[in-house]
Chain A
Amino acid sequence: MSAVTLKNCGLVPLAALEILDFCAFAAALRQEVDAQGRIAALFAAPAGEQFDLFALIARDWQGQLALLRSRVGARYPSLTPELPQVHLFEREIAEQYGLVPEGHPWFKPLRFHPSWTGRDAWGRDPRRHPLVGEMDYYRVAGEEVHEVAVGPVHAGIIEPGHFRFQCHGEQVLHLEISLGYQHRAIEAQLPSAHPLARVQRLEAAAGDTSIGHATAYALVCEALGATLAPPRAQTIRALALELERLANHVGDIGGLATDVGFLPTASFCGRIRGDYLNLGAEICGSRFGRGLVRPGGVAFDVEAPRAEKMLERLDSMARDTQGALEIFFDSPSVLARLEGTGRVRVEDAEALGLVGVAARACGLAVDARLHHPQGAYVDTFDHVVIEESGDVFARARVRRREITDSLAWVRRALRDLPGGELRRRVAPPAAESLAVALVEGWRGELVHLALTDARGHLSRYKIVDPSFRNWSGLALALRGEQISDFPLCNKSFNLSYCGFDL
């Protein structure tokens, strides 16, 4: 095998990564997927006139990651027909560098930004900025078939995205999701950004996952500098990450309650979510955890009296949360609405490479805290929550059970915080290397990869947000469903638009 294996938060010198011939690369990738590997990232980086293709494979049950590298010219045979989980990655590469994956069955732009190389994969005018959403949509023709277009401007205060439904009466035959309205070119800007400004950009990559993205970035920096954050900092990071999970999961269940018109839980959860955010603000002053996680450690401490106070507040919050969740899951009218709605089959979830809550609700045990633990999760996380029905109910229940688990974890961590320093100086990054970090954010697995050049400067930074993987899952969940169930299914995934658009 020509793949280089490593652990989460590992570093590989580029020289150790053999440049495979594309056929060998494709064959190795297929072999990995056949052996239950998951493609966690596929991305390109310029290498002279040509481009390097990197694939990161997560071998979950061995707790290992594997890297493959190949070099291609302007065109290469698409991997999507055999490995559907790379379909978006190939479109992304095409949009960024103008590389054409020949034979891609669904070859369209993703975010509608001009190519970084001035070479356009679709032959559009490179001087003109593409119009967001300008592409051919899949259409179903026939009597009584109609098309419903929703967005990019929505009725609620949410992010912009365009949804096209092909409907037969009330039944959805096909849903196509077109995003890109929030594209801020984060990936393109990171290498040239000032090192101190990078973490702020990443905290804003998906505003509800600031801790997650900042932690992943910090881990990548630490891997490049071969420095380990002190144990106390690692625990505070994980603590904040779990609080982020709690706030968002509680908020999501409140959102589901709103969408089914179930008032009590909707209003309680709205308030309790605020309580969890405020608890996060207790640590660092920001309700969304901005400014807490920094490369080398954390910027704020949780002193003993503060931990005491937080534990006290957690007690009453846990009671409220419990109450709000119980009336929701004990109401027959709510369950009738959730069960059997928006089902994703486990085979589809696996083929598309879904991650996070959406994958676990289909019965896939995908959780980076278990398989690729880092920092404070090592040896403290042994329990992945899975449900099998793959419907809205399963996604709600995964959240409910994770809320219980996270509460227990946070309490334990607050009770015995390790002592010691908060932050260490990170050594200068290694030259010509590739570093990887996987973090289980509340929505799912966040993958960050960084490449450095000969002087140790960042030359390419790759972010894979769970939303990038899971939007296709939502489209699939809607097949054959009632169009009136779309808002509920959408809320049960609750994906980020800007996390996808970056």
Chain B
Amino acid sequence: MIAHLLLHLLVLLLFAPLLPGVIARTKARFAGRQGPPLLQPYYDLLRLWRKGFVLSRTTTWVFSAGPVVGLVVPLLAALLLPFGALSAPLSFEGDLILFVYLFALARFFTAAAALDTGSSFEGMGAAREVTFSCLAEPTLMFALLVLAKLSGGLSLQTLFGAHLPAAWGSGAGPALGLILVCLFVVLLVENSRIPFDDPNTHLELTMIHEVMVLDHSGPAFGMILYGAALKLMVLGSLLVRLALPWNSGFWLFDLLIYLGGLLLLAVLIGVVESVMARLRLVRVPQVLIGTSLVSVFALVLVLR
């Protein structure tokens, strides 16, 4: 049990920073550039970890709590989630609700830390982040409900269980296809990727997530970057398991399929970021309401 838990976390902690590296490399290749080394995010984390903190005098403990919660939450959430065919270390009926609201908790603390600085930029970013997440939440919930209906259970372990290949083949295939698209949109929104947010921009006025963390520095900023990579991997796991639902029965092979799937996903995100411009901010809620409706439709399909 303990060994399982440690292995689960180790895979997450070691592999996660590679994903932003792959995305950056893909984007660089599309732009005709060489791009940074694949391991750049690891070097960045190391560099930030060695730096000192700069804390504004107007901030309180809430400001420091943001990065910590942001790092811990994906770790906790990962424990509830099977990595590909590898089972989750912790699992109980209804843990999907906990999974969704753990991320809401992280968001609350990030937004609170942003508001704590008193900067008008960060306040604006917090308002945007909270609004868009509110709108992304129904999509995620309905998608999980579709999976719950198909599996007959309420834990993530059962939701992403061995019945998935059969479900794809059955009449539920179209519904699964729809929620795959919806979950991809949620992934892009939650991880502040183009077309919803631009993680590389330096323009404070257009930022959503990045502007909330402007005042963090050194190890705290490192924690935020690390937390973001973990979050990308955890949410990406949902998609990878849904798209590649095979169980080979041999754990190492399962792990390779899972990690390979994550790398493919990172490349896909890189491609999307390379061929699309950002949406106007006012369009983002419209897209999210659209995906909510699509996931409701998927639910109708499986309830029929």
| Contact, CB under 8 Å: A261 / B281 | no
Return the chain B residue nearest A341 by Cβ: B280
Count of CB-CB pairs between chains A and B under 8 Å: 89
Given contacts A148-B120, A155-B202, whether A263 and B273 have CB atoms under 8 Å apart is yes
Q: Determine the chain B residues whose CB is within 8 A of the CB of A333 once the complex forms.
A: 195, 276-279
Question: Of B29-37, B87-95, B175-183, which stretch is located at the interface?
Answer: B29-37
Question: Of B73-81, B138-146, B203-211, which stretch is located at the interface?
Answer: B203-211
| Contact, CB under 8 Å: A264 / B279 | no
What are 9 A-B pairs at a CB distance below 8 A?
A155-B204, A261-B200, A261-B276, A262-B276, A268-B31, A333-B195, A333-B276, A484-B205, A484-B280
| Contact, CB under 8 Å: A170 / B120 | no
Does A337 interact with chain B (Cβ within 8 Å)? yes
| Contact, CB under 8 Å: B32 / A267 | yes
| Contact, CB under 8 Å: A264 / B274 | yes
Q: Determine the chain A residues whose CB is within 8 A of the CB of B33 once the complex forms.
A: 267
CB distance from B33 to the nearest CB of A (A): 6
CB distance from B287 to the nearest CB of A (A): 12
Rounded to whole angstroms, the CA-CA distance of A120 and B27 in the bound complex is 55
Q: Determine the chain B residues whose CB is within 8 A of the CB of A336 once the complex forms.
A: 277, 279-280, 283
For the residues of A in contact with B, the DSSP-based class is helix
| Contact, CB under 8 Å: A331 / B277 | yes
CB distance from A453 to the nearest CB of B (A): 49
CB distance from B170 to the nearest CB of A (A): 36
CB distance from A294 to the nearest CB of B (A): 39
Does B264 interact with chain A (Cβ within 8 Å)? no
CB distance from B64 to the nearest CB of A (A): 23
Return the chain A residue nearest B281 by Cβ: A484
B169-207 interface (Cβ within 8 A of A): 194-195, 198, 200-206
Rounded to whole angstroms, the CA-CA distance of A94 and B278 in the bound complex is 44
Partner of B204, one of A147, A150, A488: A150
Return the chain A residue nearest B123 by Cβ: A146
Q: Determine the chain B residues whose CB is within 8 A of the CB of A488 once the complex forms.
A: 206
Rounded to whole angstroms, the CA-CA distance of A266 and B283 in the bound complex is 22
Contact string, A479-495, partner B, CB cutoff 8 A, digits 1/0? 00011111110000000
Rounded to whole angstroms, the CA-CA distance of A264 and B283 in the bound complex is 23
- On A, residues with C-beta under 8 Å from B are 146-150, 155-156, 170, 257, 259-264, 266-268, 331, 333-334, 336-337, 341, 482-488
Does B124 interact with chain A (Cβ within 8 Å)? yes
| Contact, CB under 8 Å: B278 / A148 | no
| Contact, CB under 8 Å: A337 / B279 | yes
The 3 closest A-B pairs by CB, nearest first: A267-B31, A261-B278, A487-B203
| Contact, CB under 8 Å: B280 / A156 | no
Q: Determine the chain B residues whose CB is within 8 A of the CB of A263 once the complex forms.
A: 27, 30-31, 273-274
Given contacts A149-B120, A482-B281, whether A156 and B27 have CB atoms under 8 Å apart is no
Partner of A261, one of B30, B204, B277, B282: B277
Q: Determine the chain A residues whose CB is within 8 A of the CB of B258 once the complex forms.
A: none
Given contacts A150-B205, A334-B277, A482-B282, whether A261 and B124 have CB atoms under 8 Å apart is no
Q: Determine the chain A residues whose CB is within 8 A of the CB of B273 once the complex forms.
A: 261, 263
| Contact, CB under 8 Å: B30 / A483 | no
CB distance from B212 to the nearest CB of A (A): 14
Contact string, B269-295, partner A, CB cutoff 8 A, digits 1/0? 000011111111111000000000000
| Contact, CB under 8 Å: B206 / A487 | yes
Rounded to whole angstroms, the CA-CA distance of A264 and B32 in the bound complex is 8
Rounded to whole angstroms, the CA-CA distance of A58 and B74 in the bound complex is 65
Q: Determine the chain B residues whose CB is within 8 A of the CB of A260 once the complex forms.
A: 277-278
Return the chain A residue nearest B32 by Cβ: A267
Rounded to whole angstroms, the CA-CA distance of A333 and B276 in the bound complex is 6
| Contact, CB under 8 Å: A264 / B195 | no
Q: Determine the chain A residues whose CB is within 8 A of the CB of B278 once the complex forms.
A: 260-262, 333, 337
Return the chain A residue nearest B194 by Cβ: A261
B218-243 interface (Cβ within 8 A of A): none
Rounded to whole angstroms, the CA-CA distance of A148 and B118 in the bound complex is 12
Does B121 interact with chain A (Cβ within 8 Å)? yes
CB distance from B278 to the nearest CB of A (A): 4
Contact string, B114-149, partner A, CB cutoff 8 A, digits 1/0? 000000110110001000000000000000000000
Q: Determine the chain B residues whose CB is within 8 A of the CB of A341 once the complex forms.
A: 280
Q: Determine the chain A residues whose CB is within 8 A of the CB of B206 once the complex forms.
A: 259, 484-488
Rounded to whole angstroms, the CA-CA distance of A370 and B158 in the bound complex is 73
Rounded to whole angstroms, the CA-CA distance of A263 and B32 in the bound complex is 10
| Contact, CB under 8 Å: A261 / B195 | yes
Most A-side CB within 10 Å, residue of B32, B203, B205: B205
Return the chain A residue nearest B195 by Cβ: A333
Q: Determine the chain A residues whose CB is within 8 A of the CB of B205 once the complex forms.
A: 148, 150, 483-484, 486-487
| Contact, CB under 8 Å: A146 / B120 | yes
